[in-house]
Structure 1
């Protein structure tokens, strides 16, 4: 319900009402007198009646108001949309998200929502999905290449591709639904430079495990010799450790502090335990066996990977004089060790959570030796030979210094 209000500093009256869920306050040149109030009240009553009937035109009452221009532009967009029967990009995004979120993990939903909010809606929100052009898409992508991250670096090709993917999906769905040709057709993803893996050598692995803090030795032993991803090992729970069959069951991962199901069917797998991993988990059972998570903090909560990386991993590498590498390189190390041991590529792919050997050969091609047809035994023998020596007192003392 609107009202007529006096502005204290001037003594002039102004309208105060709501239109299209927005508060509107329009100043007049009339003094606060009973006659003027009655006059403006009659106008306000007429405005509210027209709003109710849907016939109100803001510019007819307040032609010089900035809001009049805004509401007029919105009205023209709506009329244009109705004429061409395609919604605004922002409106269609809401529909698309409501339909798609049921099939996505929470972390992926958060990523897509962030991409829409930060990039796509600001650029295309007020455009009709049926009127977005190929040129506008290419211009938008070119503008992304000029965006700088917090570290003053331009967005990478892979990051730009991840921003463009939801746009391609949205326009493709809109094109099917409203029967127009998607302007995204024929636009290829940017070429992403091939990144080389940086696995650790056996000598480096042995040095790391001999020097790392005792409470993290089991953690990194499992990481180095199973190929588990960070989210998979941080989300590993004791009910997924099968000592009888010597298997780790990968069923879930810790993503943004929450447990979620594995990303793909291939990631849903079981990993064979070599003896070193078996012993490490048996030892870990004594420390955290009463908790849900295999590796956890003192309160029984899962590890926070950024904290572990900054406070344990990077200081350890620096202390040992090793090149700084992300913890994910432990996964690459497992793959290259399996290949060096001559394990069956199909078996390695299953251990890694890949559905085929294609990625294995593409990423680790230079680490592939003359392969044999073994399924874990060769790797087991390699670890026994390389790690049969016990940790010396000198190595134990060195670990306490980190």
Structure 2
């Protein structure tokens, strides 16, 4: 369907004589110029989008012949399943990911070759918030009491530090300080590549609770002579997709717990910290957030169920306080 979007595009006589290149001719230059600022995982993702989505449609068109209607039709076309028999459409989030490098390429070309950018008032699609399904404390206790021994320490750390998957899988012993009960987040592991943390706020020191300290002490006896805290027998870091498929989901099924993505361990820790009454600013720093905005937008709605707080705490506070006369104010 995508190829039909541009069949009727005829380069004008002026364009034939111009020095404005085709999309295909310019895109390699754009990638090489921007690669220096990208992480390896992002670079691979951009190349995949360009090769699978953008070049097949826009490759042979001169950059200034790509119009706003072409972009809108292209975006609509990629929302449909690309394979026969597949019912699920691409998510708005993924469609936005596809459109992002296209926007960058065309905006840069417009500046460089002095033509109006076709990305006029084409806003990213609205993304529905991902469902947050944290475990209850009882569910965490059940899971940790029954998970196989060689992954008990790993999941204890996951549940009680709010570390991201890439952070715990890339955790090296050099960043663990059990004398100070802290973990330093300085690196991550994405698709087997050591990379920098997600944001500047993600560089942080995580203060460790006692269960995490005990788990790391036990783990040091197992992998303390290796580079990575959690690794296989050869010392190589864990591959999260393999762990999810072979360990995580089978454990949930066996324990008859609802299937949830492993990332829910991070959400679980956040809600437990909030339920315990920890300072929101401290929680935000522990999680690698620059502000408390996400805590109040995403996590705080789970706190009433965890703490049974419904305003009664305030009632108890003022129960024996005399605020003066209870006579009706006749001035109202």
Alignment of 1:107 onto 2:53: no
Q: 1:265 aligns with which of 200, 205, 211?
A: 200
Q: Which residue of 1 aligns with 2:19?
A: 85
> Residue by residue, what CA displacement relative to the aligned partner does 1:341-367 show, whole Å, maximum 9, x if unpaired?
111212111111111222222221303
Change (3 A) 1:169 1:210: same
Contact 2:134 2:264 in 1 (8 A): yes
4+ residue stretches of structure 1 with deviation over 2 A? 76-85, 147-152
Give the root-mean-square deviation of aligned CA atoms.
Answer: 1.8
Task: Compare CA radii of gyration and give the structure with the larger one.
Answer: 1
Q: CA deviation at 1:257?
A: 1.3
Contact 2:162 2:265 in 1 (8 A): yes
Change (3 A) 1:109 1:80: farther
Partner Cα separation in structure 2 for residue 260 and residue 341 of structure 1 = 33
Q: Which residue of 1 aligns with 2:137?
A: 202
Q: Which has the higher contact order (CA 8 A, sep 6+)?
A: 2
Partner Cα separation in structure 1 for residue 44 and residue 234 of structure 2 = 27
Contact 1:88 1:129 in 2 (8 A): yes
Alignment of 1:300 onto 2:235: yes
Change (3 A) 1:276 1:292: same
TM-score, normalised with respect to structure 2:
0.85
| Count of residues in correspondence between the two structures | 294
Counterpart secondary structure, 2:36: helix
Change (3 A) 1:329 1:82: same
> Residue by residue, what CA displacement relative to the aligned partner does 1:86-141 show, whole Å, maximum 9, x if unpaired?
21111111111011000111110000000000001111111111121000000000
Give ranges in structure 1 of 5+ residues lacking alignment: 1-75, 370-402
Counterpart secondary structure, 1:165: helix
Q: 2:271 aligns with which of 336, 340, 354?
A: 336
Q: Which residue of 1 aligns with 2:291?
A: 356
> Residue by residue, what CA displacement relative to the aligned partner does 1:179-218 show, whole Å, maximum 9, x if unpaired?
2221112001111112220000000000000000011000
> Residue by residue, what CA displacement relative to the aligned partner does 1:295-349 show, whole Å, maximum 9, x if unpaired?
0111111111111111111111001111111101001001111111111212111
Which segment drifts farther, 158-167 or 358-367? 358-367
Partner Cα separation in structure 2 for residue 178 and residue 191 of structure 1 = 31
Q: Which residue of 1 aligns with 2:70?
A: 136
TM-score, normalised with respect to structure 1:
0.70
Contact 2:274 2:300 in 1 (8 A): no
Q: CA deviation at 1:151?
A: 5.5
Q: Which residue of 2 aligns with 1:95?
A: 29
